[in-house]
Amino acid sequence: MPRAIRPKASEGRMGVGPLIPPLAESQRPLRQQVFELVRAAGLIPRVQVAKDLGVSPASVTTITSELIETGLIEEVAAPREGDAGRGRPAVALGVRADAHRVAGMKLSDREHTAVIVDFAGNLIADDVIPRRPGPMSVTEILDAIEDLLNRVCTKAGMARADLSAVGIGVPGFVDSAEGMVLWSSVLADRAVPLAARAGARLGLPVTIDNDANLVALAELWFGAGRSLSDFAVVTIEHGVGMGFVMNHRIYRGAQRVGMELGHTKVQLDGALCRCGQRGCLEAYIADYALAREATTALNWGHKEGQSIAVLLESLYDHAKAGNATAKSIFRRAGRYLAVGLSNVINLFDPALIILSGERMRYDYLYAAETLAEMESLVIATGRPRPPIEIHAWGDLLWAHGAAALALSAVSEAILSGQVLGVAAE
């Protein structure tokens, strides 16, 4: 076996170990850490900020004064515990809710949803626009985005110009950093610079991401993931997606299109997936896969032309009524889901797995048999598997995740001294 080649001393000295850039993600500037702690706490005294971050009270006073001056946080009078209202009230810090407002949208195969939230994450308004399934042209989707934003702004009693940013989520392969939709079931074209196109149309900064990432972001900001450093969200709707939080941050991969659980292969040369390949997990458990299976197994050729939603409701009703074939379709999908979830556990060892999406209404997918099969496929370490929670939220949760994406973009741009502007096409 050849020995590793080491340079001679005269050739200079080579370093070893990881090359960590300054101010890595885990070493965020103190100013940003202070703001994020105040935002996460809701209300918190300066002395507690210093204690939680392990820095001097003087440093916290200096930084919070700057954040107050820039209008990002404010002092709030809070009654002292046990004082029954006597004496001067304690002063706590909180995010200034009216400092900024952002919109979040989810574009899907079934409907488009939007929310407007303030800088503290409070909901101001929401709206939904139903749509016919199928891919749209870029112009059509931009029209839909603009129409939806105008409607939700009207509900909120504000103009588009009152918003600081817009976050948008779409299914498919999305490079969030470049604002590029590489492929999506809602778009007829590939490699669409949707953030730039939407930003130019709306006259506002736009950020985009894969919709499953936004569900994970919604759980991280508003839900069960707030106190967890590592957890997974698996979404089951028209497709199968996954968002993974690692060290309190969304993990996207080296090329920023990772975590595509729905397109991991569970059957070589298997069922056709909408991505064009065969044997994907999605091709066995997504709604179009269940509808396709039902049409064949139950001889529903006469129902051709009915929407997938109607077919699925009929399939579920048949299963609930005891139809063996309908029950077997859900059972088969549940087994494939068990394979997918066991792979997530074996690969990532998350603290929690959240199953989310419209299909979570169909409890056959996560019946006791499914969870038992998943248990049998997980590596036997002698330790308990991560808990699994079912969150059957509607699309407004996804839109909240898009709003969190926009809030994050706004706050990070301000804290880093950048100018948040409209991306160039």
3-state secondary structure labels for all residues of 4-72? CCCCCHHHCCCCCCCCCCCCCCCCCCHHHHHHHHHHHHCCECHHHHHHHHCCCHHHHHHHHHHHHHCCC
Q: Coil, helix or strand for 395? A: helix
Query: Is this prediction's pTM over 0.85?
Result: yes
Q: Are 266 and 280 in contact (CB under 8 A)?
A: yes
Greatest alpha-carbon span in the chain = 82
CA distance 216 to 242: 8
Give pLDDT, residue 365. 73
CA distance 111 to 147: 13
CA distance 155 to 124: 9
Bridge partners, 105 (sequence order): 114, 168
How far CA 425 is from CA of 25, 166, 274, 410, in Å, comes to 28, 16, 29, 20
CA distance 85 to 196: 53
CA distance 425 to 422: 9
Give pLDDT, residue 206. 98
Alpha helices per DSSP H over 260-394: 282-285, 287-297, 308-320, 324-348, 368-377
Q: What is the pLDDT along the chain (425 residues), one digit of tens a residue?
A: 555 555 555 566 777 777 777 655 556 789 999 999 999 999 999 999 999 999 999 999 999 999 999 999 999 987 666 555 555 667 899 999 999 999 999 999 889 999 999 999 999 999 999 988 889 999 999 999 999 999 999 999 999 999 999 999 999 999 999 999 999 999 999 999 999 999 999 999 999 999 999 999 999 999 899 999 999 999 988 889 999 999 999 999 988 888 999 999 999 999 999 888 999 999 999 988 999 999 888 888 777 778 888 888 899 999 999 999 999 999 999 999 999 999 999 999 999 999 988 777 777 777 788 889 999 999 999 989 999 998 876 668 889 999 999 999 999 899 887 655 666 56
Other C-beta atoms within 10 Å of 222: how many?
A: 17
CA distance 368 to 235: 19
